[in-house]
Amino acid sequence: MKPILLLLLSISLISCADKESDSGDPDAGLPISEKVNKLLAQMTLDEKIGQMTQVNKSNLLKESDIRDYYLGSILSGGGVAPPNRRATGWADMVDRFQGYALQTRLKIPILYGIDAVHGNNNVLDAVIFPHNIGLGATRDAALVERVAKITAEEVAGAGIHWTFAPCIAVPQDERWGRTYEGFGEMPDLVNELGAASVRGLQGTTLTSKTSVLACAKHFVADGGTQNGKDQGDVILDEETIRTIHLSPYDGAIGAGVQTVMASYSSINGQKMHGSAYWLTSVLKNEKKFDGLLVSDWAAIRQLPGSNDDQITNSINAGLDIIMLPDNYKEFISALKNLVETNKIPITRIDDAVRRILTVKYRLGLWEKTKTERSLTGTVGSDAHRLVAREAVRKSLVVLKNDNNILPLSKSRSSILLTGSHGDNIGYQSGGWTMEWQGGSGPITKGTTVYKAIQKVVGENSVYFIEDGTEVTAFQLAIVVIGEEPYAEGAGDRTDLSLKSSDVAMIKSFKTNKIPVVLILMSGRPLIISNIIDDCDAIIAAWLPGSEGDGVTDILFGDYKPTGKLPHTWPASMSQIPVNGPSNGISVQFPYGYGLTW
């Protein structure tokens, strides 16, 4: 019996060792640089190119292509999700994809990336935080770090390793459709809060189970395009670009950000994805960024020339990972040919792959090949929602409060709540929520302003009518209006005026002598000069996300407002762009403005 027992024990130990080698780091005791050099020396050109290729989940022709093409990373572009959109469904999918990566010869794990830009906003029932413009109004770096930390936990709980956040743009023109993705118009504010976000996402130890990779984007000057045109041209001298748009990257790099995403936009006519000066000379060499540089979605296709020219110019400029929604097989074949014909030097390929592997080792990815399921159950938890509620109330900026109408009494018995945004989680959350462009209605779990007010005054004391134009008798009208959701270029506007129907409704209340408290939900300042005198109080609530209770915390006086404007508020479209000191221009409200009581 003893020989048989020894044989069984030996088989068992060998089996365990094989299982560990499938997912563990076989060189765990070595310094990261030695691990990377050892692994890189074993890699074929095909394996190296695979690491540089990122494919969108919905364009993955076969899941087994992860194994067969040695793909180094997968992403879910805005709205791309598994059939089960809750955290468990995401975790199951990512774990399955990772299984294919671990079937490759060298068993290099994939990175899975997602745009978790205000919470893990693609995952059903995850907490949705205020967009960055609201966080900028808080002026609270410690809070921003806590928000990012919770976002990281909810991203990791869904099996995901990498979020394409924070956006540390410095928006200079509110016509830009991505204005709300930046923390504000001043580089010092963006620098401070961008660094805080990186610290929260990546944690003090990247190998922690609750840490994910941050991505500072979009390098560089995406917020400075002419007329606020998305993906447009930045026509500025280098000193101005460095002072306004480059300086916030100092905070992110100083905080240890591991990834940077290049911008779609151009500087003085040259597309950023083809600029060796900005990507390599400035970012990698001058700024000492030692992480990986990723392209934006199919952005290399905006470069001039043929497909080969686009690949050659972008990689030689310094891009390490190319985000390709589709046609990845053609890309892989073309890149291999370009290397073999010396259009792209193998040293540039090795540099890119070395950076990719280094970041994967720093993250401890070989020990994170399965989702930490203890985190999965915390996605959308009450504790996380309390932090989001705090972020909402600290983000609200009181712009007007005539006769101290605010805070409201909780004993009011006849409140009219009206407006398109009063009972709509989708509108309350804005773009990048469940879908790329956002949506309308109960698209995910949350508390609308209407439900939050009901909790405070009782269900029978507040009445919701979406269009209150015909109402003639109420003690008070709380009007919640703003912008419908949008993202990126779909949000570019030449006119930031309120809807004529909303203006007419507000004026009808004035005619009927009904006091008006206006709550604006928007991704930027809107032109309100034509209704400001018709409102007794005005609150800029930005895009607060899923926790409407944070609005009533201020509305009914449980907390004093502390929010300050992260953007100068123009009085008319002709004043845009106006940033910081208004130089004698009579703006509606200056940068940093915000009332309290």
Number of CB atoms found within 10 A of residue 82's CB: 18
Find residue 465's DSSP bridge partners. Answer: 418
3-state helix, strand, coil in the chain (%, to 5): 45, 15, 45
Q: Is 27 a catalytic residue?
A: no
d(CA 288, CA 277): 14
Evaluate whether 321 touches 293 at the Cβ level (below 8 Å): yes
521 SS3 class: strand
Q: Say which of 154, 423, 488, 536 is annotated catalytic.
A: 488
Helix (H) / strand (E) element for 449: namely helix 449-457
d(CA 577, CA 172): 6
- The two structure tokens encoding residue 57: 């989940």
What sign does the CA torsion over 76, 78, 80, 81 have? Answer: positive
d(CA 6, CA 1): 9
DSSP 341: T
Q: Is 25 a catalytic residue?
A: no
CA angle 105, 107, 108 (to 5 degrees): 120
What string of H, E and C letters represents the secondary structure of 543-557? Answer: CCCCECHHHHHHHCC
d(CA 324, CA 341): 23
Helix (H) / strand (E) element for 6: namely helix 2-23
CA angle 567, 269, 486 (to 5 degrees): 40
Q: Say which of 140, 174, 192, 296 is annotated catalytic.
A: 296
d(CA 491, CA 524): 11
- The two structure tokens encoding residue 507: 């004026």
Helix (H) / strand (E) element for 357: namely helix 346-363
- The two structure tokens encoding residue 597: 């009581």
Give me the helices (H) in 364-469, please: 373-376, 382-395, 425-429, 449-457
Measure Cα distances from 432 to 24, 131, 390 in Å: 35, 9, 21
DSSP string, 493-527: -S--BPPHHHHHHHHHHHHTT--EEEEEE-SS--B
DSSP 192: H
CA angle 438, 588, 489 (to 5 degrees): 30
Active site residues: 296, 488
